Copies of this chain bind each other. A is one copy, B any other.
């Protein structure tokens, strides 16, 4: 039984003779790649973001909710004698941050976006990116200016954010930002006319200049991206891209998306001290709530009750 079927010399010879590929007997039926018909139906579609120039489109992907389940079940082997249904399993994984099975799903986007947004985007290191090069190619005169109605004052309580809409001067600011960008592109064209190298000429272009890239990321890391970038503290512009991605993810892997929404996006983490307070807060009413009335699953309810003492 442990007798080797092939030894090394045999393998080399078999490979040389194309054995492996031709060994397929008549009865072998290949797997069909996991696919999502919902995602297939919008593959390549450009979803506009920010204005008429910015867009995001999904151009390729690998895996579905089933792939997450498959990867998780290999870990559990026969150990899961009472196999829960797929959705329960996926929710369990996300709730307990057992996220390696999510890495089995991969998605690739084609994105057109302002450089200042790309600068935030690229900080997500666990992904692959190929960007348009302003050293190789001439930049088109394409830039992003917030609409007059979206120019906002500096937030007072949030040092990194914007507050209310600018009450006076918004149109002036909008026009000035636009003129400044137009002038920079005009100089860029002039410099190229002088035959200044592209890599030098482009350095005076503004941060709102549009660039584009292909971007590939697995679902675990994409959820981390979306947690940060679809959050209300993220800059508005990158949030617009994140929100479109969320819609696409919802179609692609609906079970994983639902788990992400409940256990990550809508969740809150309470510190040890916060928990102590919580327990005091709820002490009086804990007895009259039951799992049936709680709307939670049995295990989550019981976990919560443990946490709340």
Bound: A130/B20 CA distance, A: 26
A95, A125, A180, A272 interface centre (most CB from chain B within 10 Å) = A180
A1-B52, A8-B236, A263-B269 given; 18 more Cβ-contact pairs under 8 Å: A2-B52, A3-B51, A11-B244, A30-B43, A76-B137, A77-B136, A79-B160, A104-B214, A115-B207, A116-B202, A116-B203, A119-B119, A169-B194, A204-B208, A263-B271, A268-B269, A269-B269, A273-B296
Q: Which residue of B lies closest to A122 (CB)?
A: B122
Which 5 pairs between the two chains have the least Cβ-Cβ distance? A266-B272, A77-B137, A79-B136, A31-B44, A162-B197
Query: Which B residues are CB-close (under 8 A) to A28?
Result: 45
Query: Which B residues are CB-close (under 8 A) to A89?
Result: none
Bound: A209/B155 CA distance, A: 24
B187 touches A180 (CB 8 A): yes
Identical copies in the complex = 4
B103 touches A216 (CB 8 A): yes
Q: Which of B163, B218, B280 is in CB contact (< 8 Å) with A128? A: B218
Query: Which B residues are CB-close (under 8 A) to A294?
Result: 277
A159 touches B42 (CB 8 A): no
Interface string of A143-166 (1 = CB under 8 A from B): 111110111111100011111001
Q: Which of B110, B116, B132, B183 is in CB contact (< 8 Å) with A77? A: B132
Bound: A194/B196 CA distance, A: 36
Query: Which B residues are CB-close (under 8 A) to A266?
Result: 271-272, 275
